[in-house]
């Protein structure tokens, strides 16, 4: 990979922080763990749909990722590519905003209008992930990548912090439902457009080794070789299977807490503020910890935080403990995102990190679907406590496998290229 001077990397870091800040601010109006489940509940969506939000988002993202990695196999202009794929999210967000500020549908089937846009939005993000991860890999130095990504995600959380208070202002205003959500979606659209245009200013160096043209057949062969030969990566994927149980939990926390404590809808803004503050601190610390001691360790801390959020939910008897749920969830997400991304880079080594990134989400998609289906079907007939206990057991199994079975890929300074045929 090309090497950047401290000034060049600092320039890219500043722009990446601006990009993450604007997206964090906008996503506060579309949080799949707080605001959107409450939105769907208000629109009259079934419990199965509400419980599936975070998981379905992950599943739909996974669908296009291998396609995106294949189509992007011979990218020459990474800046144009990353801008192009980011524009794919603009239309579905525009339709969300237009539908709920102009058409303002209500009634039993109103949630379907949003859900159709949500599906398109999730698929668009799936096309973004491999290209964006490849771009980020190209504009950073390996030795400081963990800190680069951690600091960037901290600015994402700062944007979310300010966005959370903006959510509270919008939902405490006189705007009627669902127009208040529509206004939030317009803010989301402005944020993602701004965040996309920031990519124009990045400094991107050419590859320092020759790039050979690859066919789709070659990409598919590399994918099969990785799954067949990279044993440690397979162990990582297996440990992640048990962690997919967290997706339905994340979608249920806000609805569960509202049913128990009957708080105002504007509290979702407070949840967002708490979550993003914890997210920012955790992402910065996780990036630094990963650079020094390996990203498996910081990833494990994310799982511990998710278990703590679940425990807070199980024993919550006042709103202070509800806030604790989102505090620990923020810590988990803050440690999870930079650590999982850097683990992919470390597992890939000399290989194509876009394929590794796509493989993670694609492999986990059916297990995520199974998790949300089981929880979604049980949530109407089983109390929340047994469901949360079951999810907790699954998370603990995944944590044990991660700690004692998966080897930190940083133990090998120059891992072999498992994408190449024998």
**Within 10 A of 106 (CB to CB), how many other CB atoms are there?**
12
Cα atoms found within 13 Å of the Cα of residue 27, Cβ hemisphere only: 24
Confidence category of residue 208, pLDDT binned at 50, 70, 90: very low
Choice between 274 and 352, residue whose per-residue pLDDT is larger: 274
CA 93, CA 30: separation in Å to the nearest integer?
Answer: 10
Confidence category of residue 317, pLDDT binned at 50, 70, 90: confident
Residues 6+ apart with CB under 8 A from 51: 248, 251, 252, 372, 375, 376, 379
How long, in residues, is the chain? Answer: 422
Give the pTM. 0.73
Q: Are 248 and 372 in contact (CB under 8 A)?
A: yes
CA 349, CA 326: separation in Å to the nearest integer?
Answer: 35
- Tokens read off for 409: 């890929």
Residue 204 has pLDDT above 90, yes or no: no
- 129-143, 178-192, 405-419: range with highest mean pLDDT: 178-192
Ordered structural domains, the chain, with CATH: 6-411 (1.20.1250.20)
For residues 202-228, give the mean pLDDT.
Answer: 70
Q: At what angle do helices 35-43 and 53-71 cross, to 10 degrees?
A: 120
Q: Quick one: pLDDT at residue 401? A: 95
pLDDT in tens, 342-392: 898 888 877 777 788 878 888 888 898 888 888 878 887 888 889 999 999
Give which of 311, 271, 277, 49 is closest to 154, Cα–Cα. 277
Q: Quick one: pLDDT at residue 289? A: 85
Q: Are 338 and 157 in contact (CB under 8 A)?
A: no
Q: Are 358 and 69 in contact (CB under 8 A)?
A: yes
Q: At what angle do helices 53-71 and 216-229 cross, to 10 degrees?
A: 120
pLDDT in tens, 38-70: 888 888 888 778 877 777 887 888 778 777 766
Q: Is the dihedral of CA 264, 164, 35, 281 positive or negative?
A: negative
Q: 3-class DSSP state for residue 387?
A: helix
Of the listed ranges 154-158, 200-204, 303-307, 309-313, the least confidently predicted one is: 154-158
- Tokens read off for 341: 């991304």
For residues 190-200, give the mean pLDDT.
Answer: 95
To the nearest 10°, report the CA torsion of 366, 371, 373, 376: -160
CA 277, CA 331: separation in Å to the nearest integer?
Answer: 9
Average pLDDT, the chain: 85
- Tokens read off for 3: 């090497």
CA 346, CA 413: separation in Å to the nearest integer?
Answer: 9
Q: Are 245 and 400 in contact (CB under 8 A)?
A: no
pLDDT in tens, 72-115: 666 778 899 999 999 999 999 999 999 999 998 888 889 999 99
CA 161, CA 404: separation in Å to the nearest integer?
Answer: 36
Cα atoms found within 13 Å of the Cα of residue 159, Cβ hemisphere only: 27
238 CA to centre of own chain: 19
Q: Quick one: pLDDT at residue 82? A: 92
pLDDT in tens, 122-179: 999 988 988 888 888 888 887 787 788 888 888 888 888 888 889 888 888 888 989 9
Q: Quick one: pLDDT at residue 83? A: 94
Give which of 120, 15, 19 is closest to 60, Cα–Cα. 120
CA 21, CA 28: separation in Å to the nearest integer?
Answer: 11
- Tokens read off for 135: 């771009």
For residues 285-312, give the mean pLDDT.
Answer: 90
Residue 407 has pLDDT above 70, yes or no: yes
CA 304, CA 194: separation in Å to the nearest integer?
Answer: 35
To the nearest 10°, report the CA torsion of 391, 393, 398, 402: 140
| Token pair 């963990």 in the structure block, residue | 146
DSSP per-residue string spanning 103-133: I---STTHHHHHHHHHHHHHHHHHHHHHHHH
pLDDT in tens, 4-18: 888 888 999 999 999
Residue 21 has pLDDT above 70, yes or no: yes
Q: Quick one: pLDDT at residue 416? A: 52
Give which of 325, 37, 23, 47 is closest to 181, Cα–Cα. 37
What H or E segment, with its residue span, contains residue 258? helix 246-261
Of the listed ranges 104-108, 183-187, 191-195, the least confidently predicted one is: 104-108
For residues 338-345, give the mean pLDDT.
Answer: 87
Q: Quick one: pLDDT at residue 207? A: 60
């Amino acid at each position: 990979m090309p090497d950047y001077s401290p000034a060049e990397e600092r320039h890219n870091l500043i722009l990446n922080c601006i990009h993450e800040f604007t997206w964090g601010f906008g996503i506060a109006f579309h949080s799949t763990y707080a605001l959107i489940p409450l939105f769907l509940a208000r629109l009259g969506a079934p419990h199965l749909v509400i419980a599936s939000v975070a998981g379905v988002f992950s599943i739909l993202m996974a669908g296009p990722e291998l396609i995106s990695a294949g189509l992007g196999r011979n990218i020459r202009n990474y800046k144009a590519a990353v801008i192009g794929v980011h524009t794919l999210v603009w239309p579905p967000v525009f339709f969300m905003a237009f539908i709920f500020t102009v058409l303002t549908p209500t009634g039993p089937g109103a949630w379907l209008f949003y859900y159709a846009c949500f599906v398109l939005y999730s698929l668009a993000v799936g096309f973004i992930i491999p290209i964006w991860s490849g771009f980020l890999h190209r504009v950073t130095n390996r030795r400081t990548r963990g800190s680069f990504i951690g600091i960037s995600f901290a600015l994402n959380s700062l944007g979310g912090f300010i966005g959370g208070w903006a959510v509270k202002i919008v939902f405490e205003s006189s705007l009627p439902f669902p127009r208040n959500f529509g206004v939030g979606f317009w803010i989301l659209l402005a944020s993602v457009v701004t965040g996309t245009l920031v990519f124009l200013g990045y400094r991107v160096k050419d590859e320092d080794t020759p790039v050979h043209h690859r066919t789709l057949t070659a990409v598919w062969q590399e994918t099969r070789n990785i799954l067949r030969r990279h044993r440690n990566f397979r162990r990582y994927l297996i440990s992640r299977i048990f962690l997919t149980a967290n997706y339905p939990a994340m979608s249920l926390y806000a609805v569960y807490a509202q049913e128990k404590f009957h708080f105002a809808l504007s509290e979702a803004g407070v949840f967002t503020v708490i979550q993003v503050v914890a997210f920012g601190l955790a992402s910065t610390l996780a990036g630094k910890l990963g650079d020094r001691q390996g990203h498996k360790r910081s990833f494990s801390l994310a799982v511990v935080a998710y278990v703590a959020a679940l425990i807070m939910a199980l024993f919550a008897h006042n709103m202070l403990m509800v806030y604790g749920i989102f505090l620990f969830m923020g810590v988990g997400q803050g440690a999870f995102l930079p650590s999982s991304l850097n683990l992919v880079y470390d597992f890939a080594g000399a290989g194509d990190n876009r394929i590794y990134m796509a493989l993670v989400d694609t492999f986990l998609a059916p297990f995520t679907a199974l998790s949300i289906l089981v929880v979604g079907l049980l949530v109407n007939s089983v109390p929340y406590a047994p469901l949360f206990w079951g999810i907790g057991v699954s998370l603990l199994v995944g944590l044990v496998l991660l700690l004692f079975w998966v080897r930190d890929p940083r133990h090998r300074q120059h891992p072999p290229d498992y994408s190449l045929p024998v």
